[in-house]
């Protein structure tokens, strides 16, 4: 016990402010990594990799196994090279959030603000009528990130956004009803667009089974961009909204309109999230929920 206390005292005597900063930086990196991978399948892979590394370290350090130790030392560089391939989507998502963190300004004027307000009213009105009829819909609102590659997967429209055109697009069994409608710069850019499906485990852990491909697509596009997705369930008629990989469900029309206005700020130009909200969107979703 005395030797242990002496060793502990020796360690504390060698600690200085640079050591504290060093430890805090390493802790911050692990926190960002684990928080970014939270609610994703990659977290399961990361647990498996960490468990394997710890197990191999124990085997090579506690037991004298020369051949096994040589094999591990030879294959470890290959494992380190495989990590970027395994976690490529999560790394790309994190870099995209860092890239969006430097964007603070966006042009806006009275005309653009009024057009944005009219677009929001049209979306809210159409969502309410689609909900009452239980017609499924997925409406994606572009913000700063370009959605041009997803426009190419659908039918180009470049039309004015009105409740009637949204109702017609998502009327069952029509040519454009299957897929997402993308709205950019207050215009209906395209319809019947294919969205990326979410790889997170949020929907799979939900106690309800009323969220299908539309909800997964809404979460998917919100994970790879800063777009806002409005979903109307075909099964229940409930209205949901997805942003930054999170979904707010069971919205009425008033709350839906308030949330969209909070995202786009018609009275002062589009609202821009601060850099820390882009890096850690999950920490600030409760504030968005209250709005």
d(CA 75, CA 48): 17
Query: How far is 30 from 163, CA to CA, in rounded Å?
Result: 47
* pTM, rounded to two decimals: 0.62
Domain 110-290 has CATH 3.10.450.50: no
What tokens appear for 102 in the block?
């430097």
CA dihedral 8, 14, 17, 20 (to 10 degrees): -40
CB 178 within 8 A of CB 192: yes
10 or 230: whose pLDDT is higher? 230
Mean predicted confidence (pLDDT) in 173-202: 89
Q: In the predicted model, what is the mean pLDDT of residues 6-20?
A: 75
Whether residue 8 is predicted with pLDDT greater than 80 in this model: the reply is: no
49 is written with which tokens?
A: 């990799």
Q: At residue 260, does pLDDT exceed 80?
A: yes
Provide the pLDDT confidence category of residue 279 given band limits of 50, 70 and 90.
very low
Lowest mean pLDDT among 7-16, 114-123, 230-239, 266-275: 266-275
Burial status of residue 199 (CB atoms within 10 A of its CB: 0-12, 13-18, 19 or more): middle
Q: pLDDT tens digits for 69-84?
A: 777 777 777 776 776 7
- What are the boundaries of each domain within the chain? 2-101, 110-290
Statement: residue 105 has pLDDT above 50: no
d(CA 42, CA 184): 32
pLDDT at 37: 65
- Determine how β-strand 246-251 pairs with β-strand 155-160: unpaired
Confidence of residue 212 (pLDDT cuts 50, 70, 90): confident
- List strands edge to edge, sheet with 239-243: 155-160, 187-193, 180-184, 137-141, 228-232, 239-243, 246-251
Are 269 and 108 in contact by the 8 Å Cβ rule? The answer is yes
Burial class (CB in 10 A: 0-12, 13-18, 19+), 116: buried
**Predicted local distance difference test score (pLDDT) of residue 88:** 67
Rounded Cα distance, 253 and 241, in Å: 12
Q: Would you place residue 184 in the very low, low, confident or very high pLDDT band (cuts 50, 70, 90)?
A: very high
Reference 214, options 201, 199, 195; nearest CA is 195
* Percent of the chain predicted with pLDDT > 70: 69
Mean pLDDT rounded to a whole number for the chain: 77
User: pLDDT at residue 107 above 70?
Assistant: no
């Amino acid at each position: 016990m005395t030797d242990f206390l002496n060793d502990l005292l020796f360690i504390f005597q060698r600690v200085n402010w640079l050591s504290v900063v060093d430890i805090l930086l390493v802790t911050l990196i692990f926190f960002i990594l684990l928080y970014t991978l939270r609610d994703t399948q990659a977290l399961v892979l990361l647990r498996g990799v960490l468990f394997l590394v710890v197990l191999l370290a124990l085997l090579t350090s506690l037991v004298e196994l020369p051949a096994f130790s040589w094999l591990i030392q030879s294959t470890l560089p290959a494992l380190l090279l495989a990590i970027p391939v395994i976690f490529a989507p999560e790394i790309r998502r994190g870099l995209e959030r860092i890239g969006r963190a430097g964007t603070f300004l966006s042009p806006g004027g009275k005309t653009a603000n009024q057009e944005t307000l009219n677009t929001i009213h049209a979306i809210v009105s159409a969502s309410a009528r689609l909900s009452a009829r239980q017609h499924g819909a997925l409406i994606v609102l572009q913000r700063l990130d370009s959605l041009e590659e997803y426009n190419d997967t659908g039918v180009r429209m470049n039309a004015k956004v009105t409740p009637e055109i949204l109702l017609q697009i998502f009327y069952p069994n029509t040519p454009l009803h299957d897929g997402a409608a993308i709205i950019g710069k207050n215009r209906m850019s395209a319809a019947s667009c294919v969205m990326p499906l979410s790889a997170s485990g949020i929907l799979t852990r939900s106690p309800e089974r009323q969220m299908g491909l539309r909800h997964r697509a809404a979460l998917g596009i919100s994970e790879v961009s800063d777009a806002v997705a409005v979903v109307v369930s075909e099964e229940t008629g409930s209205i949901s909204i997805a942003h930054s990989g999170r979904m707010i469900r069971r919205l009425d029309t008033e709350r839906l309109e308030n949330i969209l206005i909070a995202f786009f700020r018609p009275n002062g130009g589009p609202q821009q999230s601060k850099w820390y909200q882009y890096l850690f969107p999950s920490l600030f979703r409760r504030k968005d929920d209250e709005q």
